[in-house]
Structure 1
Amino acid sequence: MTEPSKVIHVRNVGHEISEIDDLFLRQLQNDLLQLFQPFGVITKLVMLRAKNQALVQMQDVPSAVNALQFYGNIQPSIRYKRLALIQYQSRQSAVMARSTLQKPGYGDSGNMYAAQGSGAKTGDNYFKLLWLMPNAAAIAAAFGGGLPPGITGTNDRCTILVSNLNPDRIDEDKLFNLFSIYGNIVRIKLLRNKPDHALIQMGDGFQAELAVHFLKGAMLFEKRLEVNFSKHPNITQGADAHEYVNSNLNRFNRNAAKNYRYCCSPTKMIHLSTLPQDITEEEIVSLVEEHGTIVNSKVFEMNGKKQALVQFDNEEQATEALVCKHASTLSGSVIRISFSQLQNI
């Protein structure tokens, strides 16, 4: 059997799609993107208007496979239409499908997509950039079938106000390291007239809700954080706002569904990944020991890649280690740190 490709063929997209207006077409495009974005980066999406179908190209084959497997158990629907999904089983058929995607998109690393404009012809495509929103059903599946208690999934406010920060020890990058656990960060602004306050704009309302829910009351630098939704819909670009929208350190550019599954309140245990292959437990301990009392640690290998667990005496120490050492460089590798929900090593 030939191996699958990253192109997914979606049928039964809409009734008489060739006759609908451009606004409704864009709504259909957004609905499709919401279905597939939690499984990985979407590099191209083309609406086949004459056939009531669409082609969705994921960045890699595993993302396409995960989407097909998930929707094999849950029938997806958009605009009251039930869809039929096909993953191409041969390279030749995938190449033929991609022939309609001739012009490369201008999309970035996962929060944007390249969509064929309505009325464009093959070989003369034009593209628009649109912001992706998560799909609640797929995200609920990532959490084991339902959203965590206290999470509604209906919030549409993207900007968060964080207060009671320690102004002597906090900066934008440290806030990014913490809040990026719950979603992609657009920009962060420390308030000059209130040095213990900051605004953080998340990628969408659901990610903002996760951050507010899981970080409210967390301890950082001997301060208990107050985390709430801001009255401001977004943060205005400017010299006093740090941009992160194109940062390759944003955690949800790939494997979004997997990252949602790991969202939790701060714990005593941190998980370190993207480590150098020759890393030792002593080097890991040396990297983070300044941030608290280490109870236990372990270096292990999974899928041929070195990873580590470090257990601190309390959640505040683990949070400080994550905030200060995530994205630091060790022997040429950029270290990724997240909270682990394991109780013990």
Structure 2
Amino acid sequence: SMYNSPNSGMSSICDGASNGSDSKKLRVEEAPPSRVLHIRKLPNEASETEVIALGLPFGKVTNILTLKGKNQAFLEMGTEEAAITMVNYYSTVTPHVRNVPVFIQYSNHKELKTDAGNQRTQAVLQAVSAVQSGGSPSSDVQEALAAASSPVLRIIIDNMFYPVTLDVLQQIFSKFGTVMKIITFTKNNQFQALLQFSDPVNAQQAKLALDGQNIYNSCCTLRIDFSKLVNLNVKYNNDKSRDYTRPELPAGDGQPSLDPSVAAAFSKDSNSLLGKIPGALSPLSAAAAAAAAAGRVALAGQAGSNGVLLVSNLNEEVRVYGDVQRVKILYNKKDSALIQMSDANQAQLAMSHLNGQKMYGKIIRVTLSKHQTVALPRDGLDDQGLTKDYANSPLHRFKKPGSKNFQNIFPPSATLHLSNIPQDVTEDDLRLLFSNAGGTVKAFKFFQDRKMALIQMSTVEEAIQALIDLHNYNMGGNQHLRVSFSKSTI
């Protein structure tokens, strides 16, 4: 079962259908669309504001009811359309609260009737309403939020394909208020930062708008939570820490201050958040939500009724075993897709090697489809970007008959074979490149001519991710790195 799928079949308290006396009836049934959403599996420490943040990008949030003892909540959206958009989007992108995956489905309730005297809830709703309308929360709302949150945010960057600098963070977050201090560090092989605003309300607005967003197109995803700290102690102004209120601080031992031109180079990405966030996010339309989901997914491998977990750019993994011709994400089942390979042998090869492999903590299921081909949408029909034609892709590995690529097809392994490496690229360069793909490099070995190498990641899952991210990576001088699974070990 996928997270937050309306018919996930997960055992839980029935939405208003049982008082808990009959455990056999505690089964989640699929409810028809409603502007009230039922959210389950919330972490114990989850706040009302964090629950509201799940609905904020999709429209106005009009009410909330939290059931602390059951780790559940009900969220009422302004319109049924907004609720439908939210459920559709989160059926492809797992929602998280405090880094814990949660489950979202329609409620049997059509509206929430809560105690209007709950001042705390009303204050949070007013604050969110102010954020959505582009205004500032009133003073009493600011006090309520200040008591519940810290001015310091803890930021984790997932899928950090490009460097994220202090200046990049400052540029993004200053859209929401005055950034006073930033400290960056690496923990558990993840780039993290602590960022302090001058006001807790600014931190609240930034978290609501930015959590889960990408800094650059399809990468560098922001995971944001409140820190338990209320004030940061910055000793040095350099490329790892900065106190914007104290420019006289020293740079520290051997730590040069960051050249602003470095950050500026990355701010030119046309698909980035930089310079594009005027305030809180605008509501997403149903089409935009579907397009956002499709933009994350360019998968491959042939999927049948068991379904394939949608993960970003999975097609590159399948291209190890054949040439992907077309991809169709199923409209009514966006966790599944049909993938057309060049021939039946390639489809069989992809299925045998990829079925049961793990990606993003999920098991990929691959079976042969009853369909012989993937049909393209009719002329003039907008299928929301769910169907793609890769027949003319430059990434095909098996176009040439008798190619050596046919002799080097192996199951996914922790060791990757690299080729087409430029002469001036060093071992350290490649180790850094593959570490930034989100994994840990355990071993490395150049071949004698240094045009090829073996690199070993700590797990097969990390190697799969590295291959997805880095095959055909431009190494400069129009030389593109070739990555495949190896049968060898180092």
The one of the two structures with greater contact order (alpha-carbon pairs below 8 A, sep at least 6) is 1
User: How does the TM-score come out when normalised to structure 2?
Assistant: 0.35
CA radius of gyration, larger in: 2
